[in-house]
Every structure is written in structure tokens, then in C-alpha cells.
Amino acid sequence: MFEARLIQGSVLKKMIDAIKDIVTDINLDCSSTGISVQAMDSGHVCLVLIELGSDGFEPYRCDRNITLGLGLKALSVVVRCANNDDSITIKAQEGTDNINFVFESPNGEKTSQFEIKLMDIDSEHLGIPDTEYDSVVKMPSHEFQRICRDMSQLGDSIVVACTKDGIQFSASGDMGSGKINLRQSSLVDKEEDQINIELNDPVHLTFALRYLNYFTKATPLSPTVTLSLKAESPLCVTYPIGDFGSMKFFLAPKIDDEDTAAATQE
């Protein structure tokens, strides 16, 4: 028996919205400590990692570890039927091939029930190594979304450079080029508007903007976002979910192709 009730059902809606363009199916790995999801896009370039602790649910019951395979299309259709202030309960009985979703309005006058058929999804589980990042930048999530959107007008790739002076995003294409610099903020009223840069080593990495624009669909989940960068390693974009979980996106960098570099110099 698995049962988990999320008071703020809108969180689930936003999470599904954030990943439905990247992956088609997900496995919910449920254990006594919480729910986790790991899914990779078909090109094996980016990975989504959702971790939700059991303390974010009331009640939370998971008698034994269970994996629930779900198609995101169905999940998205069902979750869209919930109102933003509804609570959402996820239920799965052992030995059945369905998962249940119950939406309850805050005053308890309306309840809706949906069932989705479970799927057997084959997916590779990647071991994500504990990484000490060279630079960790925390900034307002809407600011990051804006930067990615603006830069994608100029080119397909974004160069992220972190130095002691701050973080620089740049892109270039046939039309021209652009640069955006952000510096550590000194005085701000709200903590969530702050830009905070922890720098161990300067880094300089290139990423495909297409994926970053998928990631920033998670912006409604959190007012802040954290970018963790390490030379020649995947970028980690973290959106905290309340104080009980997080949604992380990993993106493999673009590397300078020797052939390409040689040819452009010609």
C-alpha cells in the first residue's frame, strides 16, 4: 500500500509541466523516506532528478519500496484536472495495475478521482557522483529564465563564465552576439532577489540553450534557482521545492570540437 497526500497540489502540477517536454515516461521510486524520480531525455544529454521527502506529505505511507511507471501524457492530462488549491493524494494498491489520484478542494466539498494505468518502463538508472563544484550561483529564478530566453534569440548555445567579477552569460549567432553580466548583490530587501556567487575556481562552459529553456519551465516552482558549475562536467540547475524537496536538472556541456575549431579558423 502506498499513499501520499500533498496539501499543495499545485506543486505537482508545476513539476509535471516542467518535465513533460523533456521525457515521455517516468518511474516514481517510492520508499519510506519519500518519492524520487530520475529520467533522461532520449538524446541522453540531460537528466531530471526529483526528490521529495516524506515530510512534505500528510499523511505518507509506504509499506515497502515500490516503483510506479507512468506515462507523462496521461499524468499531465489528469493533473491538469486539479484546481490549484486542491490537495492531491496519490494511492497505489499492491497487486493492481492502476495508480489513483484524488483531488480535494480546501473546503472538502469537491473531490475528484482519477485512475491511470501503470506502465512497465525500462530506464537506465545513472549514478550521479557527489561533485564539488567550482562555482555555485544562486539567483532569482525568473532572472535565469529571462536570460535563457533572451540569449536563445541570438544563438543555440550559451557560454557561462564565472569569475571573481561575477557570472557572465553570452551567446552569438549569424545575427550578432550578446552578453549579460551579473554581480554578487550587496544590499537587497528580499533574500530571494539576491544573487549569491560562491567561487572556488573560475569556470567557462558552453551549453545548448534548447535544454536550458526546458529547465526554466520549472521557474514557477521556486523563487530562486541554483546553478552549480564545474569545468568539463555537467551543469546542475536546482529548483528547491518548499523545504522538503528539490527538482534538479543535469545538462552535459558542449565541448569544442577540434574539427570544427580547425575549420572555422581556416
Partner 1 sequence: MHACSISQPLPSCQKTTPTPCNEIEMRVLTWNVNGLKAVVKNRQTNLKDFLDSLSADIICLQEVKTTKDQIEENIAIAEGYTSYFSFCKTRQGYSGVATFCRTTVTPVAVEEGITGSCHVGLKDSIGFPVLDLNDEETEQLNNEGRGLLTEHLQENGRGLVIINVYCPRVDPDNPDRLPYKIHFLSVLHERTKRLQAGGKDVLICGDFNCVLDIIDSAAMEDMPTFTKEPKTKELLLSFISKTPPITNEVLLDTYRYLHPTERGSYTCWCTATGSRQLNYGQRIDYILASRGLAESVVSSNVLQDEMGSDHCPVVTQFSISLMPSPTLSHLCSSFYSKFAGKQSKLSSFFSVSPIKRSNSGPVKESSSKKLCTLKEKEAAPVSLSRSRDVKTLSSGSKLSTDWQKVFKAPPKAPLCSGHKEPAVLRVVKKPGPNHNRKFYVCGRPDGSKHDPNASCNFFKWCK
- Specify the length of the chain in residues: 266
Query: Cβ closer to partner 1: 62 or 218?
Result: 62
Q: How far is the CB of 32 from partner 1 (least distance, A)?
A: 12
Angstrom CA distances, 187 to 15, 83, 140, 152, stand at 32, 38, 15, 30
In single-letter form, the type of residue at position 4 comes to: A
Query: Cβ closer to partner 1: 10 or 38?
Result: 38
Query: Cβ closer to partner 1: 76 or 83?
Result: 76
Asked if 111 and 173 touch (Cβ cutoff 8 Å), the reply is: no
Interface contacts to partner 1, rule CB under 8 A: 24, 27, 29, 31, 40, 42-47, 64-69, 94-97, 117-121, 124-129, 155-157, 172-174, 206, 208, 210, 233-234, 250, 252-257, 259-260, 263-264
Query: Cβ closer to partner 1: 95 or 108?
Result: 95
Q: How far is the CB of 125 from partner 1 (least distance, A)?
A: 5
Angle of helix 9-19 versus helix 72-79 axis, rounded to 10: 140
Q: How far is the CB of 97 from partner 1 (least distance, A)?
A: 4
Q: How far is the CB of 28 from partner 1 (least distance, A)?
A: 10
Query: Cβ closer to partner 1: 8 or 172?
Result: 172
Q: How many CA atoms lie within 13 A of 21 on its CB side?
A: 12
Q: How far is the CB of 194 from partner 1 (least distance, A)?
A: 30
Q: Residue 211: in which H helix or E strand, if any?
A: helix 209-215
- How far apart CA 249 and CA 247 sit, in angstroms, is 7
Residues 6 or more apart whose Cβ sits within 8 Å of residue 54: 4, 32, 33, 34, 60, 62
